[in-house]
Amino acid sequence: MSLPKHIAIIMDGNGRWAQLKRRPRTFGHIKGTRVAKKIITDCSRRGIKNLTLYAFSTENWFRPQEEVSLLMTILRRYLRRETDNLIKENIRFSIIGDITRIPTDVREAIAKSMEATAHCTGLNLVFALSYGSRQEITDSVREIAQRVARGELAVQDIDESIINSALSTYPTPDPDLIIRTSGEQRLSNFLLWQAAYSEFYFTDVLWPNFTEHDLDQALQVFASRQRRYGRVLTNDKVEKLSN
């Protein structure tokens, strides 16, 4: 079975799950974190090389203060408690997003986890935190323009690979498979450039109910799709293109 080299997940539906149980939205985030922990290990043990989780978007800052604060506490706690486990599982941790908006204690926990797992060679685990793809693209355009202004880069030399390497996801390969839970079928400002040829898997399952079985289903659907990258190709050529 062909496995995606990079899975990106929009973990949606925590609030609705909690509401259905007549509990506060934050209860859904706590359960959602447990599910994320499990799925990270499942991906790692299945030999997935890269996993990006959309944990907090730039738009999420507009949520009620109490919810934002709880999400930050969850992240800090997760990193403090889980880093040893990540090392044990040979998982390297990093983040993408606007770190300057993240509270100092969470930033410290992120830095510590990144440093402690820097030597790990298994799964490359990326949390998208305070992340928005339009902001990321805007930042990369600004960086490229500055290089041009300094005379380090000629305008005619700007190509896709220059843009690619100016994005925060570099050098992680583009996601082969993007999963979104909870029935919503949109990207919500997630990896817009990087998703150009991604396969999408949408499921009605709310993130706190997402299991290893749902992951398996997504992987099976992915394996059954023929990726043509806009071309007409024979199977062996498709295989080669994706390698």
Binding site for ligand FPP (CB under 6 A): 11-16, 25, 29, 32-33, 36, 53, 55, 60, 74-75, 78, 182, 207
CB nearer to ligand FPP: give 4 or 15: 15
Residue 90 annotated as binding? no
Q: Is 28 annotated as a binding residue?
A: no
Strands in 92-96's sheet, in edge-to-edge order, are 92-96, 124-131, 50-57, 6-10, 177-180, 199-202
Residues 6 or more apart in contact with residue 148 via CB below 8 angstroms: 154, 155, 158
Least separation in angstroms between CB 205 and ligand FPP: 12
What are the catalytic residues? Answer: 12, 60
Alpha-carbon distance 109 to 128, whole Å?
A: 15
Annotated ligand binding at 15? The verdict is yes
Least separation in angstroms between CB 36 and ligand FPP: 4
- Give strand ranges (E) for the chain: 6-10, 50-57, 92-96, 124-131, 177-180, 199-202
The reply to whether 32 sits in an annotated binding site is: no
Give whichever of 46 and 80 is closer to ligand FPP, judged by the CB atom.
80
What's the min distance (Å) between Cβ of 127 and ligand FPP? 6
Angle at 39 between CA 204 and CA 223, to 5 degrees: 70
List residues forming the annotated binding site. 12-17, 25, 29, 57-59, 61, 63, 180, 186-188, 199
Which amino acids are annotated as binding site for Mg(2+), given as ranges?
12, 199
